[in-house]
Structure 1
Amino acid sequence: MKKNLKGTGVALVTPFHKQGTIDFGSLGILIEHTISNGVNYLVVLGTTGEAATLSKDEKNALIQYVKDQVAQRCPLVLGMGGYNTQEVINNLQVFDPDGFDAILSVTPYYNKPSQRGLYLHYKHIASASPLPVILYNVPGRTSVNMKAETTLELAAEFENIIGVKEASGNMSQIMEIIRNKPKDFLVISGDDGITMPLIAAGASGVISVVANAYPAAFSSMVNAALQGKMDEARRLHYLLIPLIDALFSDGSPGGIKAALDCMKIVPNNLRLPVVKVNKATQNLINSLIAELKDKGIEC
């Protein structure tokens, strides 16, 4: 299972109709787009999927649709976290794990727990989860950073905590985890822009935003880096970096939805409080997509 979660995971966006309901037709197109272009697994109900704006019924419908559409053609990871430890445990106890390979659980946000609080939060989640757990450290969104020592303590003590998605952007912290982790523990990049150097340092892959739009090119970059073909990995990395930077310059997932709309894969509809990127950013994204096409990089 851990081997299957190496490489490129895609943090799927949730397409919406203009009136705000889930656009399952576009979601099906997106799923086929990513799977057919070589990604290794899909992540459902992550931050990029605007999960915080979905009702419980919508989440259940989305889970079922993705399972049916994927039909076991690739592994699936489900986002399941929160700032109320007991509520996460309650959700795990009623969750049907069939069709999923792991859960991705973000550090508690808003209440800013200590490192001891983070450790105990994940200890209880690991004990309750019917599936392996991937920790998710994204201090830019949660206002709390899980330090390397806490991640390593959890990795060493709980067999079903199988990896961490690290989106701290702190290269020293991430390399400390890589250097001292258990052998099979996955260190997964949570930032598209530093995925190539992190793999060079020993990371196992990425859970990507840009791979919604460019699954083939980004997967090729990841695979080249994992295989030690660093010249090819660098070439693709530097081709994609301007677009990656643009996608995050005015909020995410606003940027990736702007790109997917330009490519006519997913309409550019979001739920408040997330809004569309500004016109200048949209124009920049459109021009960068055109430049990539001119350079032979297709969606």
Structure 2
Amino acid sequence: MNELTNVFTGVFTALVTPFDDDGIDYPAFDRLVESQIEAGVKGLVPVGTTGEAATLSKNEAAALVARTVALARGRAFVLAGAGSNNTTQAVEAARACEAAGADGCLVVTPYYNRPSQQGLERHYDAVARGTGLPIMLYSVPGRCGVEIAADTAARLAERHRNIIGIKEAGGRAERISDLRDACGPDFILHSGDDALTLPFLSVGAIGVTSVLSNYAPREMVDLVAAWHRGDRARALALHDRLFALSKAMFIESNPVPVKEALALDRQMAGTVRAPLAPLAPASRSTLVAALERFAGAKK
């Protein structure tokens, strides 16, 4: 068994980055991290897509990773985002995460470049050689235009002991079976789609790297825990309760909807950085309806 299997069995939260007029709203970030740990999440993922990594400066990214490590104090695994479409910069980001005390790196496929599978291997080879941290691959073709093939993941894991798993966000449950077949049962598989968490668990994923858990961490933790203890009815009931809200969180580009949900809950401002824009009125109405349905289902 992979020594990190127990660590990754559960919910990792892809943390939003709260902003205010002066930059990053660190008090709001601190409150968010503490609420996640209190809810029982197993991992914290700063500086990822949900954290608007593409619009953070290097100094901001480094400060967020270091702050997450300090706040976690060993109570949660810190899987820091270290993605770039420039391989040299991805290596530098992974090294910076290691220097900041992160426990591992989440490395997304290069976006915009649309590399071949050979290009992906060269990219991940360089990152894996550049850091001693465990690396979780991140395949999200809807954003990056390229998918990590199952046999590519298998070759990378065979060559590099620190490539330990993948966050799979391609929207197809059969990918989990393809990855298990190619990479073996010890390769860690996480759902990257909240609405597909239960289907992915049913075919071999062990957890989820979640956007929704920023807003509903206890329910996401409960869903995954229910599945793993064999309470299928409870897991399905939670899936049903969360399903509409899961979809609403992606009615526009992540993290716009989840930040609006957190703002409506008065946890932070809903501010996003350009080129993202505030949630459109029609989308906001859909989100509010999903939030009200979720709140009503909890009663």
Q: TM-score scaled to structure 1, two decimals? A: 0.94
**1:213-262 deviation per Cα after TM superposition (whole angstroms, max 9, x unaligned):** 00000111111122232211111001111011111012210010111111
Q: Which residue of 2 aligns with 1:73?
A: 75
- Please say which of residues 158-167 and 227-236 is displaced more in the overlay: 227-236
Q: Which residue of 1 aligns with 2:291?
A: 289
Give 3-state SS (helix, strand or coil) of 2:44's partner.
strand
User: Is 2:206 aligned against 1:229?
Assistant: no
Q: Which residue of 2 aligns with 1:163?
A: 165
Deviation of residue 12 (structure 1)? 0.1
Among 9, 14, 31, the alignment partner of 1:11 is 14
- 1:176-215 matches, within 5 Å, as 176-215=178-217
Structure-2 separation of matches of 1:96 and 1:116: 26
Q: TM-score scaled to structure 2, two decimals? A: 0.94
Deviation of residue 88 (structure 1)? 1.9
Q: Which residue of 2 aligns with 1:250?
A: 252
Structure-1 separation of matches of 2:202 and 2:293: 27
Q: Which residue of 2 aligns with 1:104?
A: 106
Q: Which residue of 2 aligns with 1:152?
A: 154
Structure-2 separation of matches of 1:108 and 1:12: 21
Give 3-state SS (helix, strand or coil) of 1:49's partner.
coil
Give 3-state SS (helix, strand or coil) of 2:85's partner.
coil
Structure 2 gap ranges (5+) = none
Structure-2 separation of matches of 1:235 and 1:276: 32
Give 3-state SS (helix, strand or coil) of 1:218's partner.
helix
**1:13-41 deviation per Cα after TM superposition (whole angstroms, max 9, x unaligned):** 00001x25100011111111111111111
Give 3-state SS (helix, strand or coil) of 1:108's partner.
coil
Structure-2 separation of matches of 1:89 and 1:269: 30
Among 132, 136, 146, the alignment partner of 1:134 is 136
Structure-2 separation of matches of 1:159 and 1:134: 11
Change (3 A) 1:290 1:113: same
Change (3 A) 1:234 1:266: same
Aligned residues: 296
For the 8 Å contact 1:189–1:203, the answer to whether it is kept is: yes
Among 8, 20, 25, the alignment partner of 1:23 is 25
For the 8 Å contact 1:92–1:128, the answer to whether it is kept is: yes
Deviation of residue 171 (structure 1)? 2.4
Deviation of residue 282 (structure 1)? 1.5
Structure-2 separation of matches of 1:256 and 1:93: 30
Structure-2 separation of matches of 1:200 and 1:179: 15
Q: Which residue of 1 aligns with 2:123?
A: 121
Structure-2 separation of matches of 1:162 and 1:84: 22
Structure-1 separation of matches of 2:93 and 2:34: 29
Give 3-state SS (helix, strand or coil) of 2:23's partner.
coil
Structure-2 separation of matches of 1:82 and 1:222: 30
For the 8 Å contact 2:66–2:102, the answer to whether it is kept is: no
Structure 1 gap ranges (5+) = none
Structure-2 separation of matches of 1:200 and 1:224: 12
Structure-1 separation of matches of 2:202 and 2:155: 24
**Matched residue type, 2:46:** V
State the superposition RMSD in angstroms: 1.6
Structure-1 separation of matches of 2:258 and 2:97: 29
Change (3 A) 1:111 1:235: same
For the 8 Å contact 2:256–2:279, the answer to whether it is kept is: yes
User: Is 2:272 aligned against 1:276?
Assistant: no
- Percentage identity across aligned positions? 36
**Matched residue type, 2:16:** V
